[in-house]
Structure 1
């Protein structure tokens, strides 16, 4: 799917979120990476095979 040189990480790679953003919809809070992964502004992800990765944003030290 990726046409970049060097190629971006595949959706199965551990660093899949390092792929280039090819579409972004800030009004809907999501973007599409060139490897087919959908990333959400809350840091959750939806993989091309339908698996989801929950948000993994770290909390601030002072947050309760």
Structure 2
């Protein structure tokens, strides 16, 4: 699917979110990557085979009382 040089990571690679955006929809909160992954603004993504990957949110530091 990817025609970039060097090629973008495949949809099943650990770094699949590093692929280039092929179709941007920031007004809807998602982008289609050239490897077929749909990347959501909350960092969750949908793989081409329909598998959902939950968002990766940073740990929240403890709050002062």
Is the shorter-chain TM-score for this pair beyond 0.5, marking a shared fold?
A: yes
Superposition pairs for residues 1-64 of structure 1, below 5 Å? Answer: 1-62=1-62
Structure 2 CA distance for aligned equivalents of residues 23 and 59 of structure 1: 30
Runs (4+) of structure 1 exceeding 6 A deviation are none
Structure 2: runs of 5+ lacking an equivalent: none
CA RMSD of aligned residues (A): 1.3
Shift of residue 27, structure 1, vs aligned partner: 1.1
Larger radius of gyration: 2
TM-score by length of 1: 0.89
Aligned length: 63
Q: What SS does the aligned partner of 1:17 have?
A: helix
